[in-house]
Amino acid sequence: MSLNELIQVCIAHNLDGYNIDLGVKSFAVNLLKPEMPVISIQLRSLDELLRMMKKADSTHIYIARGVFYLNALYSVTNSFPAARIYYLKTQDLMAVAAIGSFLEEHSVRLPPVNDAQLSQLIDDQCYPERYAKWHTQWEANSRTFKGLLDGRIQNTSVEQGIWLSSNGRCMFCESKTDRMSTATIMAEKGVLVGFQLCGEHETEAMNHPTLFNYICSKTGIPAPFFARATVVLHGKYALTITRHALLKDLDCENEKVSGATITAKRKSGFRVIVRQDALHDYAYIIQDPRRRPVSRIDSANHHHVAYGPDHVHRDLRKANKNKVEPSFTYGFVAADLKAIKKLIENAETQWQSKLAAQPFGKA
């Protein structure tokens, strides 16, 4: 979702400029750069500009290279180091006059500002220091999310993430918290969304179908994909998706289905046994052609791992079977294909190397 798309959603729900800017700041933290002291967003209509100007910290007109910029500026805050400018632009002096008259009818004035005045309004001289201080704090607050996102990208269908920063505070009541809540939008490609809630609001969220649904109910801003979000539960439909994924994406032949467990076989003779009783109760087991388990991903809560309890045993030989790592998996095969495929291909490579090293092909 682009910032303009976010603004359109906010306008559709009749939010004023102040609250639109709050939403923009939450998303735009991912766009901040040390050399960019202002986030500039070109609006689509005069009505949008008026909405933003009514709550702006400064409204003005700025002229550069023959172009008139009609700006609604929102100042630097303690939690966001860059100013935000929402603007329309034109080279037509008559259009400027008409827009100015329209805005004055709504009690909005557009005094001209020069370079020095604009520099002062966005406080660009102090921006490097502000950015450095903000970035240090932001990295500390987002470190846990970044670790999870990196793991999801490497092992699942997630390809990008959005961290809705609230600077170590609950996004609703602003009380300090070190908790992290996440939700994932799954389509062909996944998006991981992270935010912070206090214990009270985290408990409250559990009474809603999804975290997205909870956010909608609290903010009254149901973005289209939030409004239709549902929880993936294991059942016949999920089983059908899994069978298709094993066949199409992992090049397996389905051998057996027993309840929530599917056994599938690769051309190499390796098998994948998938058990999906629930999103928090699942296992993916890789067997060699002799049907000996060689690696496994599961959700059993008997190891202390970061981002657990989901974990991976990359080598189930006796000496290594208790060596585990976070798996970052979801418990839904269609989302976890990347991690499963890595285990299979690694096991097959080791098997072939072992065969090649033995003159009579005994593994």
| Statement: residue 229 has pLDDT above 50 | no
Q: Which of 227, 248, 278 is where one domain is finished?
A: 227
Q: Which of 122, 155, 174 is where one domain is finished?
A: 122
Q: Under 8 Å CB-to-CB from 13, ≥6 apart: which residues?
A: 220, 221, 222
Q: Is residue 127 part of a domain?
A: no
- Indicate whether 183 and 278 sit together in one domain: no
With left for phi above 0 and alpha for psi between -120 and 50, is residue 167 left, alpha or beta? left
- Polymer length in residues for the chain: 363
| Statement: residue 361 has pLDDT above 70 | no
pLDDT tens digits for 140-150?
Answer: 888 999 999 99
Q: What does the mean pLDDT of the chain come to?
A: 90
Strand order in the sheet with 67-74: 38-42, 83-90, 67-74, 58-64, 112-113
When divided into structural domains, the chain yields a total of 3
Higher pLDDT, 3 or 340: 340
pLDDT tens digits for 283-313?
Answer: 999 999 999 999 999 999 999 999 999 999 9
Higher pLDDT, 126 or 217: 126
**Encoded tokens for 156:** 């699942």
Q: Is residue 88 part of a domain?
A: yes
- Indicate whether 117 and 146 sit together in one domain: no
Domain that holds residue 273: 236-357
pLDDT tens digits for 243-257?
Answer: 999 999 999 999 999
